[in-house]
Every structure is written in structure tokens, then in C-alpha cells.
Structure 1
Amino acid sequence: MTSKVARKIAQSVLSREQAEGAGARVRRSIGTRSLRNLDPFLMLDEFSVQAPAGFPDHPHRGFQTVTYMLEGEFWHEDFKGHKGRIGPGDLQWMSAGKGIMHSEIPATNNKAHGLQLWVNLSAKDKLSEPNYQEYPATNIKAVSPEEGIDIKVIAGESYGVQSPVMTMTPTMYIDISLKKGKKVEQIIPKSFRGFVYTLSGTAMFGGDKHKAEAHHTLVLSDNGGTYLPVESLSDDCRFVVIAGEPINEPIIQYGPFVMNTEQEIYQAFADYEQGKNGFEGAPGWHSSIRDLWS
């Protein structure tokens, strides 16, 4: 009989606030010098945006963006006619595929606060058709194993509850809130690479009981562990556990384009500028929400 092996914390990175987009502020961890990427993850931002700041019209190719709202509301719109509004607890899982132009800005005067994760796509999926999955908070699966433990299953599985979200790159994304003294053991597939991002409170994470407060990215060890133990030290403990199957392919990133070779990056820029191969209609496109606060 094989005994359980707990994941440990291999690295801790504090997410420091920085400017991004048009007047927005983000706390970035993955995607910085301290943690360039964590295959299959390219970037993680905890964003805090208030009008008129935002992320106006911009392109993407070759990966997925996952936006999870914590408070406030965002408008989003793309050049293919897709437009919507997401609020607290809502999820948007977008695959940019071969090309998307979109815009994201606050929908009200209140602060829009959330997480945006960039998930890489394998070479075979990088030029696929763009698609969206949107789930309002009411459709996000949840489980409370006991009083003082509240879990939202954004992707993957937790305590027997499975998310309906389809992930082109196998990914789990679990939002956990704990009262002081509560413990959880989150199952993580042995082959997955992952991390914890702390939103509030204090807890001890991993088999080594690593103590961490808010705004830290805790990289999980690749020790063949199959679960992550956590014990809360405060009543306001909240964090996300994110892990995925490594793609193990070259990552060449230039701004909003992520491909496998430099030549593919040059081609992405050429396609974007010339409005072809997925970027038809991009040149001259102007979102209707871009100037909402001007």
C-alpha cells in the first residue's frame, strides 16, 4: 500500500504592486524575474482597477486567459462581436487561439478586483479557433466539507465535486476560504505542476508547514506528492490552488503573443498588422466600451 505524499513549498514569491494597462494596478508574480513562468502557466495578476483605468483594445495569440472576479464588475468585448459583463464570483475562461482582439474595463465606478491567469497552449492548439467559457457565480460548483470550510471549484475537482469547465491544457483551479484552525487536504495529480496564491489571512501550507500571508505565490514542490495540506491561522484565510499538466515545449513570448519559435512570433505580429490568419478585422477595430469612461 502506497502512503500519501504531501507537496511542500519550493519557492515563495511576494507579488508587488505595479502599473499595467491604462492606469490599472496589478500584483504580478508569475511572469516576473523572480518567476518567469511555471509551465503550463505564463502569468498571474491580482488586479485592482477603478474607472477610468482599464485594459483597452489589445491582441492575444497562443494561450488562454482566465479571469476570476472577486469584487466589482468588468465589461469585456472582442472584435468578433462577443460582449459581456462579469461580476463578483464570475468566471471567464478565454482561449485566444490563433487570434483575438479584446478590451476589458470596469463596468461601474467601484473597484474591480480579481485574478487573471495566463495558461499556455500546446503547439497543436495555438492556432485553434478562439472560444469563451463564461460561468456566473451561481453556476460555479461549491463544496463545504465542514463548517468553516468553503470551497469553489473553478476547474478540476475538490472533495468529490467536479467543475464543468473544459480546459484545453489540463488544469485545476480551486478557491478555498477557511476559518481559524480549519484544515484541508487538496488532492493534486502527481504529474501536475502548481502553486498557491494567497488572497487574505495567514495559514501554514504544505508538508513543511510553510507560513504565508496575503499576496504570496507559493510554488509547489515536484516531489511526486498527491495532495496539499493547509491549516488556517486566521479567520479570514483565503487562497487559490492552481495546478496543471506541464506542456514541456519551448516558450517564446513577446508581449501578448506566446508561441514556440521566434519565427512564429514574427508571423504573429505580421498577421496582426496585416489583419490575416485569425486577425481579420483587427486593423482599425475600436471596441464600443473603450471610451466609456473618457
Structure 2
Amino acid sequence: MSGQDVQHGTGVTSNRAFPTNYHPGNIDPFVLFERFYIDPERGFPMHEHRGFEIVSYMLEGGMDHEDSLGVTHTAYEGDAMRITTGGGIEHSEFPADDAACNGLQLWVNLPEARKEVEADYDDADAGSLPTREADGATVTTVVGEGSPLDLHTPMEYLDARIDDEWTWTVPDGWAGFLYGVSGAGTVDGDAFGQGDVLPASEAGSVAVESDDDPFRVVAVAGRPHGEEIVQRGPFVL
């Protein structure tokens, strides 16, 4: 399944993994996932969010973040930011250094009992995200064991650069997805490349094999809340 190209009203483009015309639903506990591309002098002016958490992970260039908590921060390639929107936060996102940037953004639902938690922000530079050599791949943990970023939902977010064959295992009772970042290969024997998406709603192992070094994917899984996800633009009710 391929992601769908989306044009935001601010002039920003993205390739959205879900929800799309191809996969209209969410993947509990995840609200949406997309790769964004921001040209110079484009971006997202100050706007409000409520009811979920945001993980932004930079692939190329830098992105300036500013929010109503008084935080200003620039994230560059390999850096990540986490925003807990909770009961409400305003923030802006613009490319840094008068240059284009692109990255990945994940929205994670907050469980009903935590929808109104106090808004919060944290970030992690590339050097603080643990990277290990696994069989057939080099894997960076953006969220999960060893990462300084914590969310209100138990989850794991892996960035895998595959040079042979790597096995991704979805923990029992969790749900998630694979997304192709660059290069090409196969997933359980089927062709898979940049912008492709594989939802994974059941526990099990997925064989990811490289045809084009480096073949890069992100693998995201989390514990479902078992609650309806109701998105209204920038709010998740």
C-alpha cells in the first residue's frame, strides 16, 4: 500500500501513511503518520493542538519549533521532538537556516483519562538516541528502550537501515506499521519502497530484506487504548 500525497493549506506537502483514501482508518493508538516537506518561507504559523502527542523526527535539514510554553528549539537531521498537547498548546514549525527540510511526524492518541493532562515538550538530539547493530540492519530507537523520549502510551519507534535481512517483531497485543523512507526491498517477499506502508494489527514477525543499500524503513508499534479516535483537524477528542 502506498502513502497518499497531501497538500496542507500553508503550502507544505506531505506523504501521508494514514489515514488516507487507501487506508481510511487510524491504527490505534496512532492517529496519523506522514513525511513532511517544507520549502523555505513555508511552514506552519502558530496554531493550537489538543488531545494527543506528537513525535517529529528530522530526516534532512532543520526545523524551528516555538510554542506557548516558551520553548524555542531547532531540530536537525537525526534529532527528535515530543510534544504532549494535552489540554492545549500552541506551536509553530518553520524550516531553519533559509533552507528546505523534511522529516517524519507521528500523532499518538492520548487515552481518554489523560486528554486534559498538562501540555509538555521534550527533545533529543541524534547522539542521545541509542543506535545498535542488529542482524542485517543498523537500528536507531527514536522512542522505546534507551531513548530519552517518553510518551503516555507504551510504544516503540525504530529507524532501521537495512543492508541484508532484518526481522521486525510486533509485541503481543500491540499494533503498528512499517513505512518506507528510502531505497527499495521486500517485506515478507512483497516489493516495498519509499512511501510504502504496511499496517500491522496483530503480533508477529515481519521479514524486511534490502534490494538497494541502504534500504531505510521506520517501524512503529504501540499498545492500543481500545478507544475511538475522533480527530477534528488539529484536535483529537
TM-score, with length taken from structure 1:
0.77
Which residue is 2:179 aligned to?
Answer: 197
- Measured in 2, the distance between the counterparts of 1:204 and 1:241 equals 14
Count of aligned pairs between the two proteins: 236
Higher gyration radius (CA): 1
- Identify the structure with the greater strand proportion: 2
Residues 144-155 of structure 1: pairs in structure 2 closer than 5 A: 144-145=133-134, 149-155=137-143
Q: Structure 1 residue aligned with 2:44, among 51, 55, 65?
A: 55
Which residue is 1:3 aligned to?
Answer: none
Please state how far the C-alpha of 1:219 moved relative to its aligned partner: 0.9
Which structure carries more relative contact order (alpha carbon 8 Å, separation 6+)?
Answer: 1
Structure 1 unpaired stretches of 5+: 1-11, 260-294
Which residue is 1:186 aligned to?
Answer: 168
Q: CA RMSD in A?
A: 1.5
Which residue is 2:218 aligned to?
Answer: 240
The 8 Å contact of residues 3 and 20 in structure 2, kept in 1 or not, is answered as no
Question: 2:79 corresponds to which letter in structure 1?
Answer: D
Query: Which deviations, in whole Å up to 9, do the C-alpha atoms of 1:151-209 show, x marking residues without a partner?
Result: 1111124xxxx333212111110000122xx1112232111101000011112213xx2
Residues 16-55 of structure 1: pairs in structure 2 closer than 5 A: 16-35=4-23, 36-55=25-44
Structure 2 unpaired stretches of 5+: none
Residues 1-294 of structure 1: pairs in structure 2 closer than 5 A: 12=1, 14-35=2-23, 36-145=25-134, 149-157=137-145, 162-179=146-163, 182-206=164-188, 209-222=189-202, 224-225=203-204, 227-259=205-237
The 8 Å contact of residues 21 and 56 in structure 1, kept in 2 or not, is answered as no
- Measured in 2, the distance between the counterparts of 1:229 and 1:61 equals 37
The 8 Å contact of residues 128 and 148 in structure 2, kept in 1 or not, is answered as no
Please state how far the C-alpha of 1:21 moved relative to its aligned partner: 4.3
- Measured in 2, the distance between the counterparts of 1:236 and 1:17 equals 24
